[in-house]
Amino acid sequence: MIDLHCHILPGIDDGADTWEESMEMARISVAGGVKTAIATPHYSRDLSPELVKKLVNEFNERLSDANISLNVMPGMEIYLDPAIPNLLKTGHLQTIRDKYLLIELPMNHLPLYTDEVLFKL
């Protein structure tokens, strides 16, 4: 099983606060049958794809050292915004497997620009 949306990297957003919490989340995921998890911290101007990749690499090393058989891959959760196509073009967004984006839509409505943004992507 693949977990396509998790906030497992520590200290970035509303997910794990510490490496210990991240490791426990990994243990629980593996016990539930997850083999691969896409780390999808919320995009912010302070979060670069390079930092996400660095943390994912460190996490995978920690998992290996602890014999936890979870493969973590980098990603990002990006709230729908007209700036997304430009942010993607300029390298500010971490894609999943170099071709997918996890877009978070508003809960109670779809903005008028939704179709345009998704078409541009």
Close Cβ partners of 120 (under 8 Å, ≥ 6 residues apart): 84, 85
At 113 the pLDDT is: 97
Query: How much is the pTM?
Result: 0.93
Residue 115 CA neighbour count, 13 Å, CB half: 1
Q: What residue ranges of the chain have pLDDT lower than 70? A: none
At 3 the pLDDT is: 98
pLDDT digits (tens, 9 = 90+) for 94-116: 999 999 999 999 999 999 999 99
Q: What string of DSSP letters covers 86-99?
A: HHHHTT-S--BTTT
At 77 the pLDDT is: 98
Exposure string of 63-98, with b = 16+ CB inside 10 Å and e = fewer, is beeeeeebebbbbbbbeeeeebbeebeeebbbbbee
At 120 the pLDDT is: 96
At 78 the pLDDT is: 98
